[in-house]
Amino acid sequence: MIKTIILILIIVPSFILGQDAEVDETESTKGSGQYKWEIGINGGVNITNVSGFKSDSTGATLENNIGRLYGITLVYHLNKVFAIKTDIDFENKGWTVKNFGMVENSATGINEIVDVSQNLNYFDIPAFLHIGFGNKLKFDLNFGPYIAFLMDNNTTITDGDGIVLPERDVALGVLPEYSATDFGITYGAGIDLALGKRVSFGFDLLYEQGLKDITADGLRNTSIDFDFGINFLFGQKK
């Protein structure tokens, strides 16, 4: 994924800048329409958690995790207002349960109250209906479904003193198995600022709500995404 993003950063700007000389000559006859396509890179952070959490431990509390996301953006403009937008992202989700409960330390045979942090790494693909208003500075709305594929998951277990307990030393029968796929809805708003004829900078604030149980006991992913990106515009104007 990282190599692909670097390749896009090198190839796409060169291709688009190479077209500018041809475009300057024809734009006067075609007017100030909207380029058909945008391609770019995006990245940011998210605040992630789960809904549906239940615990047998009376002192258990659920806390947010801060994750990261980055990937590629592709936009096809239907007209000056409506577009279809998709991202192909690597996204990190997870949560922490404080005072999770009593877990047996297999190395010592002692039951201990532990905190459990869950980290899930997804290949995440949202597809939006993108509605934009404005010219050089655009305000936009995005909503649509997403599907995600679990790449790997990591569990960190710490005791009351904050010491990480190796998974091999802990009886993990209390921890769930996670579904290999997830899907749900994404919606939010953002802005896009034109930096030139063929380059724009954008920011989106998005909320993702999972609609699929990712564990047998009904946990569902939720996240608030803060996503920045640079897009390059190309193709004939509409």
The enclosing domain of 75 has a CATH number of 2.40.160.20
Domain count, the chain: 1
Structural domain boundaries, residue 178: 2-237
Q: Between residues 116 and 24, which one has the greater pLDDT?
A: 116
Nearest to 189 by CA among 132, 124, 126: 132
pLDDT at 168: 57
**Max CA pair span of the chain:** 80
CA distance 232 to 54: 45
pTM, two decimal places: 0.81
What's the pLDDT tens digit per position in 119-147? 999 999 999 999 999 988 999 999 999 99
Percent of the chain, pLDDT > 70? 78
**Per-residue confidence (pLDDT) for residue 30, from 0 to 100:** 47
Lowest mean pLDDT among 3-17, 93-107, 135-149, 201-215: 3-17
Tell me the pLDDT tens digit for each residue of 46-62: 999 998 887 665 678 88
Q: What is the pLDDT of residue 172?
A: 55
